[in-house]
């Protein structure tokens, strides 16, 4: 955990993935992120999968290094406390609807320099989640085996909620941009980030929208091949699947040498009247002939032999792993400085935890911090942020407006 944002405090009132990711990334850079939840937990507090003690591993990992305040957000007094915490702090991240008690109008009342970042569904107010905006984006109907019929094939959803995580990363960027603007102008900002716009906008930024409009039709399915370049999965003699990619002349030359296909490639070039070293286009347009050659060669060698040869020639490749294999891989996890020792997780389960994805060689990263227990910091934050006395907080606890740590209740 780097301390680049140690002078920043953020109130986060959110659930699920996109909005909590904003706070997570800020916390990993040293910000004080105070997550405010309903006293029984937010909508994601019990999100699958749960440990036998009833602790959500998803919640635990998306809320590392944050502080937790638990309020009765169904009561007027609890909502007033939440809004006042955001006002006092000056910046708030949420995925609650704009027409809620946490509207920007309410937050900025008496605080004209307030910065709010709100994750939405669609720009017109419709609800959405990752898997529904993904359906609208067109990507699921581009996935699947190459021989599937365009008119009859089913969509293939991605397992990773990519739009949520991209939205969270963009939200963290937008928050810091708004704060920088406030530093130079004194002005507050209301930032709304529709999840659907992130999906359809990313599709446009990638060039795919322009491509579809230009061609006047949909792109064909490619299976596991890389669009517009040379790359696909192959199977070795010992039945290992691995992915290769060649986007540069060096990568292409390395693959040809590693697979021992120099003569075969030269013969194919003579037959087709092309030079595959000239760039992506000839390699992509004649990919099926090339795939046949590479698969024939791959099937004559065990994976370890091929991997050694590809490494020797500077190729870009990787073996397919199950996620369980990846989690236990010494290179990916055990020896990777991204991961630090397991902190004292609320679940009680010990496992590697990530530091910030950014690697700053001249700065000390620090060890990963645990997620909080729900309500663990309620008293501390209300004292420090709102100046409430211990007696006042005690009355709020007795009234059920404030909840303290649930460490002993699960």
Number of helices (H), then strands (E), in the chain: 16, 12
pLDDT (tens digit, 9 = 90+) per residue, 49-82?
999 999 999 999 999 999 999 999 999 999 999 9
47 three-class SS = coil
Per-residue model confidence (pLDDT) at position 170: 98
Backbone angles phi, psi at 119, to 5 degrees: -85, 125
Under a CB-based contact definition with an 8 Å cutoff, are residues 130 and 160 in contact?
A: no
Per-residue model confidence (pLDDT) at position 286: 98
Burial code of 210-249, b = ≥16 C-beta within 10 A, e = fewer?
eeeeeeeeeeebbeebbebbbbbebebeeebebebbbbee
pLDDT (tens digit, 9 = 90+) per residue, 313-335?
999 999 999 999 999 999 999 99
pLDDT (tens digit, 9 = 90+) per residue, 265-277?
999 999 999 999 9
Per-residue model confidence (pLDDT) at position 230: 98
E strands in 153-198: 189-194
**305 has pLDDT over 80:** yes
Q: pTM, whole model, 2 decimals?
A: 0.95
Distance CA 66, CA 28 (A): 9
Give the mean model confidence (pLDDT) for residues 228-247. Answer: 98
E strand or H helix at 284: helix 280-285
Under a CB-based contact definition with an 8 Å cutoff, are residues 230 and 287 in contact?
A: yes
Backbone angles phi, psi at 98, to 5 degrees: -60, -40
Give the DSSP letter of residue 277.
Answer: G
Report the chain's mean pLDDT, rounded to a whole number: 97
The rounded percent of the chain whose pLDDT value lies above 70 is: 100
Indicate the pLDDT class of residue 38, thresholds 50, 70 and 90.
very high
Give the DSSP letter of residue 142.
Answer: G
Give the mean model confidence (pLDDT) for residues 89-104. Answer: 97
15 three-class SS = coil
Beta bridge partners of 293: none
Q: Which of 164, 197, 280, 406 is catalytic?
A: 164
Please calculate the CA angle 96-11-109 and round it to the nearest 5 degrees.
75
Give the mean model confidence (pLDDT) for residues 241-255. Answer: 97
CA distances from 364 to 2, 104, 224 (A): 7, 37, 40
**1 has pLDDT over 80:** no
- 164 counts as catalytic: yes
Tokens 């094939």 map to which residue?
Answer: 153
Give the DSSP letter of residue 332.
Answer: I
Distance CA 338, CA 359 (A): 8
pLDDT (tens digit, 9 = 90+) per residue, 109-119?
999 999 999 99
Per DSSP bridges, beta strands 339-340 and 353-354 are antiparallel
Give the mean model confidence (pLDDT) for residues 352-365. Answer: 93
Let me know if 251 is exposed, middle or buried by CB neighbors in 10 A (0-12, 13-18, 19+): buried
Distance CA 207, CA 334 (A): 37
Indicate the pLDDT class of residue 151, thresholds 50, 70 and 90.
confident
CA distances from 298 to 25, 229, 367 (A): 41, 19, 42
pLDDT (tens digit, 9 = 90+) per residue, 368-380?
999 999 999 999 9
Per-residue model confidence (pLDDT) at position 7: 97
E strand or H helix at 381: helix 378-386
Beta bridge partners of 47: none
**Encoding tokens for residue 20?**
């909590």
Per DSSP bridges, beta strands 91-94 and 115-120 are parallel
Distance CA 338, CA 333 (A): 8
pLDDT (tens digit, 9 = 90+) per residue, 386-400?
999 999 999 999 999
Per-residue model confidence (pLDDT) at position 156: 96
Under a CB-based contact definition with an 8 Å cutoff, are residues 129 and 121 in contact?
A: yes
Per-residue model confidence (pLDDT) at position 150: 83
Per-residue model confidence (pLDDT) at position 267: 98
Per-residue model confidence (pLDDT) at position 409: 86
The rounded percent of the chain whose pLDDT value lies above 90 is: 98
């Amino acid at each position: 955990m780097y301390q680049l944002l140690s002078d920043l405090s953020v109130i986060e009132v959110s659930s699920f993935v996109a909005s909590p990711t904003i706070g997570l990334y800020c916390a990993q850079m040293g910000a004080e992120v105070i997550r405010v939840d309903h006293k029984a937990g937010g909508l994601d507090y019990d999100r699958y999968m749960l440990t036998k003690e009833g602790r959500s591993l998803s919640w635990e990992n998306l809320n590392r290094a944050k502080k937790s305040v638990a309020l009765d957000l169904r009561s007027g007094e609890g909502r007033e406390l939440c809004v006042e915490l955001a006002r006092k702090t000056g910046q708030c991240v949420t995925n609650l609807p704009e027409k809620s008690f946490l509207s920007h109008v309410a937050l900025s009342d008496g605080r004209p320099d307030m910065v709010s970042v709100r994750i939405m569904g669609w720009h017109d107010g419709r609800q959405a989640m990752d898997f529904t905006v993904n359906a609208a984006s067109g990507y699921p109907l581009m996935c699947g085996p190459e021989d599937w019929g365009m008119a009859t094939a089913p969509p293939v959803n991605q397992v990773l909620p990519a739009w949520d995580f991209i939205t969270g990363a963009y939200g963290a960027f937008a928050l810091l941009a708004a704060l920088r603007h406030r530093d130079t102008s004194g002005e507050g900002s209301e930032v709304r980030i529709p999840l659907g716009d992130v999906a359809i906008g990313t599709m446009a930024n990638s060039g795919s929208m322009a491509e579809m409009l230009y061609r006047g039709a949909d792109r064909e399915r490619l299976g596991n091949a890389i669009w517009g370049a040379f790359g696909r999965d192959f199977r070795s003699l010992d039945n290992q699947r691995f992915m290769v990619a060649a986007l540069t002349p060096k990568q292409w030359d390395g693959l040809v040498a590693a697979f021992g296909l120099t003569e075969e490639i030269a013969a194919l070039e003579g037959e087709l009247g092309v030079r595959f070293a000239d760039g992506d286009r000839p390699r992509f347009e004649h990919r099926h002939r090339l795939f046949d050659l590479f698969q024939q060669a791959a099937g004559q060698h065990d994976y370890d032999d091929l991997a050694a040869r590809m490494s020797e020639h500077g190729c870009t490749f990787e073996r397919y792993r199950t996620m369980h294999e990846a989690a236990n891989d010494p290179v990916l996890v055990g020896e990777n400085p991204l991961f630090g020792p397991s902190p004292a997780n609320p679940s009680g389960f010990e496992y590697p935890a990530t530091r910030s994805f950014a690697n700053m060689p001249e700065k000390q990263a620090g060890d990963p911090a645990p997620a909080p227990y729900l309500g663990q910091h309620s008293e501390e934050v209300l004292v420090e942020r709102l100046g409430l006395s211990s007696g006042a907080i005690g009355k709020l606890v007795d009234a059920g407006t404030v909840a303290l740590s649930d460490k002993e209740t699960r």
